[in-house]
Amino acid sequence: MLLGCIGDDFTGSSDLGNTLSKEGMRCVQYVGIPSGPAADDVEAGVVALKSRSLDRHDAVSQSLAALRWLQAQGCTQFFFKYCSTFDSTPDGNIGPVAEALAEALDAHKVIVCPAFPGTGRSVYQGHLFVNDVLLNECGMQNHPLTPMTDPDIRRWLARQTTHPVGHVAATSVLEGAAAIGRALDAEHRAGKRLIVVDALRDVDLLEIGKAADQLPLITGGSGVALGLPRNFAQRGQISKAGIAWRGQPGKCVALSGSCSTATRAQVALHGQSNPTYEIDAAKVIEGTLVPQTVTDWLLESKGVPLAYSSADPDHVAAIQDRFGGTRSAAALETFFATLAQQLVDAGIGKILTAGGETSGAVVEGLKLDTLEIGPEIDPGVPALRANDALVLALKSGNFGAEDYFAKAAQVLGSVNG
């Protein structure tokens, strides 16, 4: 294994795996820290944690444990993947984890770059944009767990870290790898360790990747990993073969607990030509709707049936007011996990999930340990193979085109992508 990655959530980890795999690395996503060694032919390994919203001390200790496992697999470079909308609180966990990894690796000049132009995220003058609005105006300011109220990533990160935060501005980035390298050196000499790097386009990310060739630790969204496989390829270290994709025959079902705007539009479109089942959150929490009812409905339905609890913000707020946020999320996530178990027990081999927490609950509920990265469905979302009988796609809430579900079902089923 050459590149060792640590992801702070499951869907984000498959997003990173997608980028590395598209660039020709044989990439596997691990669900948590594996208990044994990796297969010999893995070139990039992504240890997927659920550390984004943990207590910062737990997030740091899990990330360091993941680092030790990746070091034991022989990795020479490491990547810490967080959200392209920099999801974190003033307490962490991006800063504390990045600093702890930097310390453990004796890494200086640590790039911090959430840019992901393919999904509209860019960084300019240290500020994060989502399409044409600043981060704190894109809806992320209302996120229930990590409200992003400041678009200046340097200022936000400084609240989470002990050392001053540096910056490489677009003026250097647009000049290319050599200028980026010089700017990183200058920030290092000025005593900065975590350095926010501007990036607007994929070509910027490729130049940043070149400049990062000899750096032990890079951090960011999946975008900034774009240029890293080319460094290994240039040294003849990777096969560029990727992993051959085998589609899975049979019925595909979709489960959505994501309440994001993008998912709600995808659910609405999918429902125009496929059967859908709206899961009543109150009934789930009160225990009057059991997973078996929905499983039976999914098994009996034609097309790509979709069961969803996705609802608009007012509806979600009403449920949370009535039952409490933690209780309602726990009940719904357990419901989706049981649903997935029942579907797999009934022989279903293709499952689509929407929502980071929902996907995490499903993957944990199914007790999966490794996910091979397959072809891209939409930017940031790859097809995944869990074992001989099961393929999946885990969609982050805000990702995917409006026809995502139909497209994903098609990719999971088709042979060779």
Ligand X SMILES: O=C(O)[C@@H](O)C(=O)CO
Q: Where along the sequence are the contacts to ligand ATP (CB under 6 A)?
A: 11, 257-260, 263, 281, 309, 311, 315-316, 319, 328-329, 332-333, 355-358, 396-398
**Which amino acid, one-letter code, is at 358?**
T
Task: Give the CB-nearest residue to ligand X.
Answer: 12
Least separation, in Å, of the C-beta of 80 and ligand X?
A: 12
Contact map string, positions 69 to 108, toward ligand X, x by CB under 6 A = --------------xxx-----------------------
Closest by alpha carbon to 370, among 23, 12, 48? Answer: 48
Q: Choose among ligand X, ligand ATP, none what residue 187 binds, the Cβ cut-off being 5 to 8 Å by kind.
A: none
Q: Choose among ligand ATP, ligand X, none what residue 378 binds, the Cβ cut-off being 5 to 8 Å by kind.
A: none
Pseudo-torsion of CA 285, 286, 288, 292, nearest 10°? 30
Q: Choose among ligand X, ligand ATP, none what residue 339 binds, the Cβ cut-off being 5 to 8 Å by kind.
A: none
- Select 1 or 281, whichever has its Cβ closest to ligand ATP: 281
Residue 62 touching ligand X (CB under 6 A): no
- Select 291 or 356, whichever has its Cβ closest to ligand X: 356
Measured between alpha carbons, how far is 172 from 127 in angstroms, rounded to an integer? Answer: 16
User: Is-contact 143 130, C-beta < 8 A?
Assistant: no
- Select 12 or 45, whichever has its Cβ closest to ligand ATP: 12
- Select 4 or 221, whichever has its Cβ closest to ligand X: 221
Q: Choose among ligand ATP, ligand X, none what residue 15 binds, the Cβ cut-off being 5 to 8 Å by kind.
A: ligand X
Q: Choose among ligand X, ligand ATP, none what residue 357 binds, the Cβ cut-off being 5 to 8 Å by kind.
A: ligand ATP
Residue 151 touching ligand X (CB under 6 A): no
Least separation, in Å, of the C-beta of 121 and ligand X?
A: 7
Contact map string, positions 164 to 203, toward ligand X, x by CB under 6 A = ----------------------------------------
Measured between alpha carbons, how far is 327 from 237 in angstroms, rounded to an integer? Answer: 48
Q: Choose among ligand ATP, ligand X, none what residue 380 binds, the Cβ cut-off being 5 to 8 Å by kind.
A: ligand X
Least separation, in Å, of the C-beta of 326 and ligand ATP?
A: 9
Q: Choose among ligand X, ligand ATP, none what residue 221 binds, the Cβ cut-off being 5 to 8 Å by kind.
A: ligand X
Residue 380 touching ligand X (CB under 6 A): yes
Residue 221 touching ligand X (CB under 6 A): yes
- Select 34 or 120, whichever has its Cβ closest to ligand X: 120
- Select 231 or 353, whichever has its Cβ closest to ligand ATP: 353
Residue 122 touching ligand X (CB under 6 A): no
Q: Choose among ligand X, ligand ATP, none what residue 96 binds, the Cβ cut-off being 5 to 8 Å by kind.
A: none
Residue 4 touching ligand X (CB under 6 A): no
Least separation, in Å, of the C-beta of 32 and ligand X?
A: 17
Q: Choose among ligand X, ligand ATP, none what residue 309 binds, the Cβ cut-off being 5 to 8 Å by kind.
A: ligand ATP
Residue 309 touching ligand X (CB under 6 A): no
Locus of tokens 């995220």: 121
- Write a three-state SS string for the chain: CCEEEEECCHHHHHHHHHHHHHCCCCEEEEECCCCCCCCCCCCEEEEECCCCCCCHHHHHHHHHHHHHHHHHCCCCEEEEECCCCCCCECCECHHHHHHHHHHHHCCCCEEEECCEHHHCEEEECCEEEECCEEHHHCCHHHCCCCCCCCCEHHHHHHCCCCCCCEEECHHHHCCCHHHHHHHHHHHHHCCCCEEEECECCHHHHHHHHHHCCCCCEEEECHHHHCCHHHHHHHCCCCCCCCCCCCCCCCCEEEEECCCCHHHHHHHHHHHCCCCEEECCHHHHHHCCCCHHHHHHHHHHCCCCCEEECCCCHHHHHHHHHHHCHHHHHHHHHHHHHHHHHHHHHCCCCEEEEECHHHHHHHHHHCCCCEEEEEEEEECCEEEEEEECCEEEEEECCCCCCCCHHHHHHHHHHCCCC
- Select 85 or 295, whichever has its Cβ closest to ligand ATP: 85
Site residues (CB under 6 A) for ligand X? Answer: 9, 11-12, 15, 83-85, 116, 221-222, 356, 380, 396
